[in-house]
Amino acid sequence: MAGTSGSAGSRPGRGGWLVAGLGCGLPLLAVLIGIAGLVTHFVIKTPNSPYQVAFSEAGDACGSVDLNEESDEEDEELILDEETGEVLYCTLVPPVVGEGRAHARGVFDAEEVARVTGLSQSLAAEGGLSEADRRDVEDLVAEIGRENGHEKTSSTALEDLTWRVGLYSLIGGLAVPFCVGLWAHFMESGTGPQGRAG
């Protein structure tokens, strides 16, 4: 009887197998969900309109642009001064244009830039661009995009959902085994010498 009880005690019970199965299965399931989510995201994702506008303060807009290198990066997007509504340039010397004339910027032609800055400067005249003012400018930019055949201005809810579910599931699925292994190593190294000494 003693031998029987000893051998039964050495076997993991049904609960132990369940915990072990969940411990291995859930991270694997999370990784699979993460991969599926990211694949789905990239399959359904469609490009946003290139007609975009950003707002910044003078001197902050071009922090990532190296002014010592010859590059067209500074012309790729329309950046407006949130205080004045004017176009911010990422060059040491702004382009020389005639007074009252706009300068083409990225995908925006000169006339489109003039439409946007005409609105932004008039809205900023009363103390800078408020959140509502910025939305009005963004609505005009979206309208210009639609006029040029670009309907989509931002990511859809489904694109955002598949990206977040995929990314977080993948990170979680990979992080759990890593943390468990680290914890097991810590416990083994912390209790191992005591076990040998006893």
Span 165-171, average pLDDT: 91
- For 32-36, 86-90, 163-167, which range has the lowest pLDDT when averaged over its residues? 86-90
C-alpha span between 69 and 18 (Å, rounded): 61
Residue type, 93: V
pTM above 0.85, yes or no: no
pLDDT at 124: 92
The tokens for 34 are 């993460």
Q: Token pair of 156, please? A: 């859809």
pLDDT at residue 16 greater than cutoff 60: no
State the pLDDT confidence band at 67, using cuts at 50, 70 and 90: very low
* DSSP SS3 for 53: strand
For CA atoms 62, 66, 67, 69, give the dihedral sign.
negative
Has residue 175 got a pLDDT over 80? Answer: yes
Q: Work out the pLDDT band at 6, boundaries 50, 70, 90.
A: very low
What are 119-141's pLDDT values in tens digits? 999 999 988 899 999 999 999 99
Q: What is the DSSP letter of 80?
A: E
